[in-house]
Amino acid sequence: MIEPDILIVGAGFAGLYMLHSARKLGLSARVIEAGQDVGGTWYWNRYPGARCDVESFSYSYSFSEELQQDWTWSHRYATQPEILSYARHVADRFDLRKDISFGMRVTSATWNEERLRWQVETDKGQSFAARFLVMATGCLSVPKVPDLPHLEDFRGQVLHTAKWPEQGVDFTGRKVGLVGTGSSAIQSIPIIAREAGHLTVFQRTANFSVPAWNAPVSPAQDRDVKQNYKALRAKGRATHAGDIADEGYVAILGLDEKAREAAFETCWAQGGFSFQYAYSDLMVSEEANRLAADFVRRKIRETVRDPKTAERLCPRDHPLGSKRLCVDTDYYETYNRPNVSLVDLRDEPIERFTPGGLKTSAGQHDFDTLVLATGFDAMTGALTAFDIRGANGMQLRDAWAGGPAAYLGIAVAGFPNFFVITGPGSPSVLASVLLAIEQHVEWLSGLLNHAQTNGIMRIEADRAAQAGWTKRVAKGAEKTLFTKGNSWYLGSNVPGKPRVFMPFADGFCVYEKICNDIAAEGYSGFHLARDLEIAR
């Protein structure tokens, strides 16, 4: 039995920084990682075209000046191999690997009130008893394979974007069927189309995508960012999106038609999330959102030559941004290729898979390779995948049966000494996620330091404080258009999952201030018990 102070689940960016921070506090820590290397979602998501959709300079740690000065990003949006190399570099640079158990999965975690420790079992038979359990399991780490009728009849190769073979896939000459049109699909479709004999995309919901205008980072840009990193990071922390990219506060409805069109063109030319960050009313006013959506639909029609295909690609059933905006390179252009076709599953639903492809209500579609770009059981999937039993034997998945509730999105009532990095109820995926991770790890480190200095053995979120927080998160989201689309933010891609908007939508800067105020008040909303007797 190993008895570390902290057991961390996951060696992605959250787990790596948590380990580094725990060491700085003088705590012993162990990380359990299912993969054979660090990187988390970037270890598994090796599909062609996988890239970050936040710019590389933001998609990186800020906690070490030496690290950010030494590392050079090759492109505005880094590829998966480059991001994985960065994670490996961080692990080596801070000598993290020696405290990580790779190829090991946690199978259960049970709170032992007598010992004030988490008893953790793994699939390798190794047990741990840790004072603190930190879930650094990521928001997008449990791939979702939907219930597709008679999929087992299909005789060809089946791939999921989030479980891509390490050796890659050669699509040359293959007939490929691809289900999905979320970010993973939109990034991989242009690349698969260049190799495949034919690619048929099966779309259920047309999605909004904006151009990445990805390009190499020039030596001058690199120099400029590195000279100004400190100020850029501070600027990012003061924004709603927690991104070093510019955040505008212009109201679309405040602009006349000419100015509006010019503003949309400017954002389009900048590319990426600037289209969403630029406006104060985009995510709160249906009319403002419709104007922006109309602009994107016009761009789709200008790009895609076949008018029928263009209409199918035009999103109509959700506000722009309510499903995560996609950032692409040549996505819409790809439909001008003669070897690419688009099937709209709303017009012709899938009836069943067959040995040579699938049959819709309109007829058979043949392919020999199936790519499922069907997403994730997001934000809670990894937390409910195995037994986590808190005080009084309560299972986390039962506690969350009606939807996840976590105080500040980091701690759960009934689950003492248990913390979730970028958990539901925190900005997480609505912020630049590396900053969201850093803020959580640093805030939690402050709490653990407070516990150490004051002899606190047991930390538990107060149930009423948690209920208040959950209400506040829901209220914040209701004021926006985020709740008006069926998205993984709401859990609506997983049948039976309660429809709850999971991220904190009021903005990173707002959230960070609340967290800091709570810390300054001596961690209000938490029960902190000083010694074993009091704790019981």
* Interface residues toward ligand NA7, by CB under 6 A: 53, 140, 146, 148, 161, 179-185, 204-205, 324, 345, 373-376, 488, 493
> Judged by CB, which is closer to ligand NA7: 182, or 390?
182
Angle between helices 433-453 and 219-237 (to 10 degrees): 50
Contact 18, 8 (CB under 8 A): yes
Report the nearest approach of ligand NA7 to the CB of residue 156 (Å).
18
> Judged by CB, which is closer to ligand NA7: 47, or 526?
47
Report the nearest approach of ligand NA7 to the CB of residue 354 (Å).
16
The residues, any chain, with a CB within 8 Å of residue 342's CB and separated by 6 or more, are 200, 201, 203, 309, 312, 313, 335
> Judged by CB, which is closer to ligand NA7: 90, or 494?
494
Q: Report residue 409 as tokens.
A: 């999105």
> Judged by CB, which is closer to ligand NA7: 177, or 180?
180
Report the nearest approach of ligand NA7 to the CB of residue 140 (Å).
5
> Judged by CB, which is closer to ligand NA7: 38, or 52?
52
Report the nearest approach of ligand NA7 to the CB of residue 376 (Å).
6
Residue nearest to ligand NA7 (CB): 182
> Judged by CB, which is closer to ligand NA7: 20, or 323?
323
**Residue 391 has what DSSP assignment?**
G
Q: Give the separation between CA 435 and CA 245, rounded to whole angstroms.
A: 13
Report the nearest approach of ligand NA7 to the CB of residue 191 (Å).
14
> Judged by CB, which is closer to ligand NA7: 345, or 510?
345
Closest CA to 421 of 182, 63, 215, 139: 139
> Judged by CB, which is closer to ligand NA7: 161, or 329?
161
Report the nearest approach of ligand NA7 to the CB of residue 430 (Å).
10
> Judged by CB, which is closer to ligand NA7: 62, or 188?
188
Closest CA to 536 of 391, 389, 390: 391
177-179-180-186 Cα dihedral, nearest 10 degrees: -20
Please report how many Cα atoms fall inside a 13 Å half-sphere around the Cα of residue 95, on the Cβ side. 2
Q: How far is CA 289 from CA 27, 157, 252, 281, 283, in A?
A: 48, 40, 8, 8, 7
Closest CA to 71 of 272, 212, 229: 229
**Ramachandran class of 226: left when φ > 0, alpha when ψ lies in -120 to 50, beta otherwise:** alpha
Q: Give the separation between CA 490 and CA 107, rounded to whole angstroms.
A: 27
Q: Give the separation between CA 162 and CA 41, rounded to whole angstroms.
A: 8
Let me know the angle formed at the C-alpha of 73 by 68 and 76, rounded to the nearest 5 degrees: 120
Q: Give the separation between CA 480 and CA 504, rounded to whole angstroms.
A: 11
Contact 277, 329 (CB under 8 A): no
Q: Report residue 102 as tokens.
A: 């790779």
> Which residue type, as a one-letter code, is found at position 256?
D
The SS3 call for residue 155 is: coil
The residues, any chain, with a CB within 8 Å of residue 24's CB and separated by 6 or more, are 445
> Judged by CB, which is closer to ligand NA7: 20, or 318?
318
Contact 410, 426 (CB under 8 A): yes
Specify the length of the chain in residues.
Answer: 536
> Judged by CB, which is closer to ligand NA7: 212, or 399?
212
Radius of gyration of the chain (CA): 23
> Judged by CB, which is closer to ligand NA7: 185, or 342?
185
